[in-house]
Amino acid sequence: MDFVSFLPQLGGYLYVIASFVVALSVIVAVHEYGHYIVGRWSGIHAEVFSLGFGPVLFSRVDKRGTRWQVALLPFGGYVKFLGDADAASGRDADAMADAAADPVALRRTMHGAPLWARSATVAAGPVFNFIMSALIFAGVFMLQGTMRDPLTVERLVPLPGLQTGLREGDALLQIEGVDVPSLEDGVAFTAFRDAVPEQQPLTYTVLRDELEVEVEGPYPWPPHVRGVAPRSAAADIDLQPGDVITAVDGAPIFAFDQLKRAVESAEGKVLLLDVWRAGEEFEMALAPRRVDEPQPEGGFATRWRMGIAGGLAFDPATEAVGIGDALGGGAAQVWGVVEMSLSGLGHMITGAISTCNLSGPIGIAETSGAMASQGAESFIRFIAVLSTAVGLLNLFPIPALDGGHLVFYAYEAVTGKPPNDTVMRILMSVGIAAILSLMMFALFNDIFC
């Protein structure tokens, strides 16, 4: 491969790396700022706030004596408080000995502060990650709005080969005589979807200009690509949002469920897809992959998937979402990510699902680039999901992580004294070794899974 032909590929790598660095830097900055600001409010002095590790590229000292710096390696960060020996908040014996004679100076150190102040400062990092995620999800909810009830056509999706009588502004009342239920009733809407016959054209009864009219339209859930999952079979062959799959192995399809059944029944066999894209038609070969999917009732199920999301044959009209509802939805989204992450980890530990579901830095970087390429909204949502995962990971009771420090503080609260310094150093070493081992395992997954 000559250099000129390599340039587009190089540009793709740089885009992935840049997306990863931006996502990680935002998450780390928020996490460490949580430690810093709550520590400051609690009377603990921060000596260094560092975004990144290694040689310092830029730094300044503020009026409180904290050095803010950006380092060369943008894969993390830390806050070093007074009395800390290192970025992992190990105890600096010499600094603590110097401060011991002065109660005011001792109170400003991390290890001389009251237990409540230390606990709040350590817990603040993950909490700030969760808060940022909830606010992002809430912002997305407010930006997108909620679907108008009754289901109303906002914009028709371009579909090949079928003329539709639907118009923008039509409110759907019936499809083939089946009443369209309220969108608030999820059970009824699922039953409605199952009751709509898999055929086209279909007869729609709509409310148009305050009159009920009947028109012909497409099957409501066509094989139209709304989104492409990163690192999926669809992403590998460059399927794009807006594509419509019109046939599988030469058999015409018009319903997303037809595509789903064809993928599942192929059991990994390569499928030849006829794809319509902005008026052009071409063929693509796709090999479905086994995917462990979280289930609504809990647990996971392994299915053959191509990695696309579908939707309606039109963009539904939306209504504004109130701040309270948006914040509630954002918090629920964060809790959903936490539940799914813990469930997935538990199933991997028991062997119920593959450990290949655990991604390392390469996988996260590839996902960052893929989500960034799908637009700002997708990338920002990805940052929210990753921020939740980072906050959760830091709460694990592993020495050197925030959760490990909180366990030590819980021990101190119960016994009235902190763990022995020698024991602390040993546990810290074990914790760091465990974290490095987990990182290496995840990196192995990225390369070989």
State the DSSP H helix or E strand holding residue 338, giving kind and residue range, or none if neither.
helix 323-350
| Strand (E) or helix (H) holding 378 | helix 376-394
Task: Estimate the crossing angle of helix 323-350 against helix 115-144, to 10 degrees.
Answer: 110
Which two structure tokens, joined as six digits, stand for 93? 């014996």
Pairing type for strands 289-294 and 314-316 reads: unpaired
- Alpha helices, DSSP H only, in 42-149? 93-99, 103-107, 115-144
- CA count, 13 A, side-chain hemisphere, 190: 3
Helices (H), 145-273: 186-195, 233-236, 256-266
Closest to 386 measured CA to CA, from 371, 376, 396: 371
48: left (phi over 0), alpha (psi -120 to 50) or beta: beta
Q: Which residues contact 36 (CB under 8 A, 6 or more apart)?
A: 46, 49, 66, 79
CA distances from 7 to 2, 12, 13 (A): 9, 9, 10
Q: Which of 32, 154, 283, 293 is catalytic?
A: 32
Closest to 264 in 3D by CA, of 222, 303, 307: 303
Q: Which residues contact 199 (CB under 8 A, 6 or more apart)?
A: 219
Question: Nearest to residue 433, comparing CAs of 406, 405, 400, 402?
Answer: 400
Q: How far is it between the farthest Cα atoms of the chain?
A: 87
Give the alpha-carbon dihedral of 142, 144, 145, 151, to 10 degrees: -170
What's the rounded Cα separation, in Å, for the pair 390 and 387? 5
C-alpha–C-alpha distance, residues 232 and 240, integer Å = 12
Whether residue 377 lies in the annotated active site: no
Positions annotated as catalytic residues are 32
